[in-house]
Chain A
Amino acid sequence: MSSATPDPGRKARSYRTTVILTSTFALLVSIGGLVRAQSAPVDLHMALRLNKPVHGSFVQQRAVAGLDGAFTSSGTFLVVHGKGLLWQVRSPAGFLMAFTPEGTKTWDAAGQPTQADTGMPRQMNRMIQDIMDLSILEDRRFESVVSGDPSAWTLEIVPKRASIKRHLTRARIGGDAFIRSIEIVGGDGSSTHLEFTDLATVDALTLDQCAALGLRATDCPAPAE
């Protein structure tokens, strides 16, 4: 696949939990930055209530049935607790994706919007927000199993409902003080592996970042005075 500039398109709407869960897991990466090293996974849940945005880099490897080899991409991300996720792909193509409770948007490398709201069901975006603070652990539609210890833990999530399993088979998150990796196996036979590096909390967002997340200036995280 060429690294051509992303083009406008449409996104299908449906209640596809894969979107949510995969988003959720990615967001967990940022949430993981708030984990206190001495905490057990259950403490992760408490620690994730901290509201600082988290920034980091990612490398994504995606294997798709019907295509030879794996597709590698890299970039940076920003997650803001309760507000959304910005996913900036830099290689092989340059485009920005924003996932918020109001929907999903994308921009091309020149900053031009490439599509309108995908119409991804709002409950899917909402699930992303839920996962940001790990309240997905209490979502009755999923079985969650946490193992390990605070220095090396693993969270496995499996949907209970067949309608969700159709799109998502399972997901696994691993980390220590931060979420370090996410693996997603889709119901269509695809698999995605994410590795996160350079993780850090940030005190403030730029105006562009706030605008991309659809935040008003008053809602935009700023440095404490």
Chain B
Amino acid sequence: MAMSRFLALVFAATCLATLAGLIAVGVRGIPVVTDLSVVLPQSRDSQVEVRIQKRLNASFGRKTVIAIFSDDATLLDAAADLALEAIGHSNLIALDPPQSGAMESAIDFLVAHRFGLLDPGDAAAITGGDYTALEGEVTRYLHGFPASVRWLPFAEDPYNLFGRFLASAIPMPDLSVYDDYLVAHRPSGDVVLVTVKPVAGGLAIDSQPAVLAAFAEINSSLAALPGVRVVMSGAFFHIAEATQKSKREVVVISTASIALIALIFFVTFRAFAPLLFAMASIAFGFLAAAAVTGNLFGEIHLLTLVFGTSLIGLSIDYAFHFLCMGEASNLGHLRKSSLIALVSTALAYGLLTGSAIAVVDQIATFAVTGLAACWLFVVVVYQHLLRRSASGNVVTLRSAAIERIGHRMQHLWDRGNRVLFLLVLAVIIPLAAIAVVSTGRMTESLASLYVPNQALLANDRQVAEAFGQYSPNQFFAIEGESIQQVLARMEVLSPILSRWKQEGAVAGYQLLSDLVPSLSTQSRHYDLVKRAYGEAGQLYTAVDLAPTAANALRQAVRDGDGHLIGDDLFAELVSTSLPHLFLGEVDHAVVAIVPLQGVNDLAALSAASLPEGVRFVNLVDSWAESLRLELLQSAQILQGTIILIALGLVLWFRRAAAMLIAIVPASAALIVVGGLSLVGHEISLFHLFGLYLVIGLGLDYGIFIFRNEGDDPRCFVAVFLSAVTTIFAFGLLSQSSTPMISAFGTTIFFGTVLNIMLAPGIRLFLTHADSKKSLS
């Protein structure tokens, strides 16, 4: 009684907390995140790499672009006008005009500090006292065709030192900048690049179909122009495709699962009240999980909703056991059995919160919270329903067929004995182990998580090539204790990069130290500039500057001593104009980025001996390696979990046979892995996460059977009913087009089938079962 009251109080408090939590997220709004990078491990290095990738994508790669290809310049102009008009008429997408301001403001900044900046060739010439080329530059400017463009007036930089520095420091893509778009000039023809963005709210899941339709309309109107080809590229299309696909699958799975569960309930109980009770428990669990997860994480990932909802659906087990066996005299027993089941499952899920993958942490939190809330609902509400029932039972089993199935399950292993059961385990476990060892392959490929649409990827590549974009997945990360150390390390890397470019290993790169050399290099350059433009500079013997101009130049050089770019000015420059080249301070280390274009020889870059503090990052390989380590670690945790639970159960029940409660699902898990390996499946991280649930489910079945002493066939009816719903729901998930969801579903599908085949064997080891069997 006291326990009932206590649980009722906890339930009331949970209701209030859930309501408060939901109001809080409702007021704030809870974003549903679809970014798949959260699936990747969250090691420190990995986090730096992900941040760099996001920085590069923000600067170069994530924009939504309409690219228009044509050989005819007139058609291209007409197509550009058509696209701009269509965008102007849309209330879902808006033009994102090209911005050249950042680079211009960076150049203006550098102008003010130019006396420490020199092109390497000019530095070498001045060092060697050879002014021939510099003076030739002056001759061409004064007498040649007026095509020599300079950033500064002649009198301020007669040798055009700053102009040549800029030319060598800033790689210029072959782009023409117009008011509303860019034109990329390629040997095969020009490309108009119109950058657009969804208007506010356009990225929301519900708005995606309308935005996609708007793009489709623009595409069809442009494609009607002869000789014009349109390509649309950007993260939006990937996100929309993944979201719509997931949405469809969630709807299908939810609808089918609910339909089957409703059918099973009606067939079994011939009443709707049990279904409402079970659905209400799952709904309560879902709401509590959403409230807690939303407040803890500030957002919910789409994968959490997909996986987490499925996991909470397992809690229908509790409802089934109460409904099948829930007379008043049995309540205490059921409460305890279901609590043990909840604790063991929560332990299995809970260990996932230690995963290096952020979204798995969220899924585990969502699932544990949901299960616990669901259990609370079942225990408290059922008791209340029972009190109001005149018959002493909330419902009665009405299906003779279902009862017969329960009976058959109960006696599934009656023809054998303990030895036979153990022998079967002793044979199939090693066989499965051999299959795993001999044919098992783990995959750390990112394709095991998600396979992006290849057509969209091809579009992205075409646009990236036209833009001359840097790759977000291959780059150098330079780390050091200070900005100056990082710049110095870049200067050591510079000739290596230059050689790779000459050899064709990379098509291009952008090195921050080319633009802002270290202070020591700037000081050296300043001394050289003084030789050219200083008090007794070489310039004044070669060029007859007007006295005022000459004096002004000499003064500017004198002032230049105080205008070298130190750390403060460096930070000001990179934060405003060059965020794609500098990440900043991460864990007390300064990190800079060297983006790469056209990486043609990954092997050479990966194998190269690099200066200290320089790291070549190939994100695909890096993440694959992290996934491999996560896979190994998770497998080890799983093994430890099984042993821990087995020992815990033996201690709790004070019977050695209780170990079987853990051995049965562990065997099922091993057989699943062995079977998948035999048929050629590569085992991925999400197969492994599925195994956690197979073990959790098997523990549930085993605990209820063990606690029931194998006596009551209704216990086996409940096990059967919950297994059938699990098998169906995860069987549907196994058909998902997303590899990680499919892996998850397949594992649990087969694991549950094995669980309900093996779990009844526990009965052989129970005292009452022995005596009943001998009597029968």
Q: Is the CB of B155 within 8 A of A67?
A: yes
Q: Is the CB of A26 within 8 A of B137?
A: no
Q: With A121-B174, A163-B104 in contact, is A10–B142 under 8 Å at CB? A: no
17 more contacts with CB within 8 A, not counting A13-B172, A161-B179, are A1-B542, A7-B133, A11-B164, A12-B160, A12-B166, A14-B167, A17-B149, A20-B147, A65-B549, A66-B153, A73-B143, A89-B143, A97-B147, A114-B136, A135-B73, A163-B177, A192-B146
Q: How far is the CA of A8 from the CA of B136 in the complex (A)?
A: 7
Q: Could you say which of B135, B146, B153 has the most chain A C-beta atoms within 10 Å of its C-beta?
A: B146
Instruction: Please give me the residue from chain A that is nearest to B173 by CB atom.
Output: A121
Total number of residue pairs linking A and B with CB closer than 8 Å: 175
Q: How far is the CA of A141 from the CA of B179 in the complex (A)?
A: 8
Q: Is the CB of A6 within 8 A of B163?
A: no
Instruction: Please give me the residue from chain B that is nearest to A64 by CB atom.
Output: B154
Instruction: Please give me the residue from chain B that is nearest to A99 by CB atom.
Output: B147
Q: Is the CB of A123 within 8 A of B143?
A: no
Complex interface: chain B residues within 8 A of A189 (CB): 153
User: What are 26 contact pairs spanning A and B, CB under 8 A?
Assistant: A1-B139, A7-B135, A9-B134, A9-B140, A10-B119, A10-B133, A10-B168, A12-B160, A13-B172, A60-B143, A60-B146, A64-B142, A64-B155, A66-B545, A66-B549, A67-B543, A67-B546, A68-B544, A93-B143, A95-B140, A99-B145, A120-B147, A121-B172, A140-B179, A161-B177, A161-B179
- Chain A contacts with B in 1-25, Cβ cutoff 8 A: 1-4, 6-20, 22-23
Q: With A65-B155, A106-B140, A141-B178 in contact, is A12–B149 under 8 Å at CB? A: yes
Q: Is the CB of B136 within 8 A of A7?
A: yes
Instruction: Please give me the residue from chain A that is nearest to B549 by CB atom.
Output: A66
Q: Which residues of A contact B (CB under 8 A)?
A: 1-4, 6-20, 22-23, 26, 60, 62, 64-68, 71, 73, 85, 87, 89, 92-93, 95, 97, 99, 104, 106, 114-115, 118-123, 126, 135, 138, 140-141, 160-161, 163, 167, 184, 186, 188-190, 192, 194
Complex interface: chain B residues within 8 A of A167 (CB): 149-150
Q: How close is A95's CB to chain B, nearest CB, in angstroms?
A: 7
Q: How close is A16's CB to chain B, nearest CB, in angstroms?
A: 3
Q: Is the CB of B177 within 8 A of A9?
A: no
Q: Is the CB of B146 within 8 A of A22?
A: yes
Q: Which residue of the partner chain, among B151, B163, B167, B544, contacts A1 with CB atoms under 8 Å?
A: B544
Q: How close is A193's CB to chain B, nearest CB, in angstroms?
A: 10
Q: Is the CB of A123 within 8 A of B135?
A: no
B132 within 8 A of A: yes
Query: Which size class do B's interface residues fall under?
Result: 35 or more
Q: Could you say which of B139, B154, B160, B545 has the most chain A C-beta atoms within 10 Å of its C-beta?
A: B139
Q: Is the CB of B143 within 8 A of A71?
A: yes
Q: With A7-B132, A115-B133 in contact, is A14–B149 under 8 Å at CB? A: yes
Q: Is the CB of B144 within 8 A of A97?
A: yes
Complex interface: chain B residues within 8 A of A65 (CB): 153-155, 549
Q: How far is the CA of A42 from the CA of B253 in the complex (A)?
A: 68
Q: Could you say which of A17, A66, A92 has the most chain B C-beta atoms within 10 Å of its C-beta?
A: A66
Q: What string of 1s and 0s marks CB contacts (under 8 Å) between B173-187 and chain A?
A: 011111100010100
Q: With A121-B172, A122-B174, A188-B152 in contact, is A97–B145 under 8 Å at CB? A: yes
Q: With A12-B167, A14-B167, A64-B155 in contact, is A4–B145 under 8 Å at CB? A: no
Q: Which residue of the partner chain, among A13, A60, A115, A126, contacts B185 with CB atoms under 8 Å?
A: A126
Q: How far is the CA of A192 from the CA of B142 in the complex (A)?
A: 10
B100 within 8 A of A: yes
Q: How far is the CA of A6 from the CA of B140 in the complex (A)?
A: 7
B138 within 8 A of A: yes
Instruction: Please give me the residue from chain B that is nearest to A163 by CB atom.
Output: B100
Complex interface: chain A residues within 8 A of B136 (CB): 4, 6-9, 114-115
B555 within 8 A of A: no
Q: How far is the CA of A2 from the CA of B142 in the complex (A)?
A: 11
B148 within 8 A of A: yes
Q: How far is the CA of A19 from the CA of B104 in the complex (A)?
A: 18
Q: How close is A165's CB to chain B, nearest CB, in angstroms?
A: 12
Q: What string of 1s and 0s marks CB contacts (under 8 Å) between B114-148 and chain A?
A: 00000101100000000011111111111111111
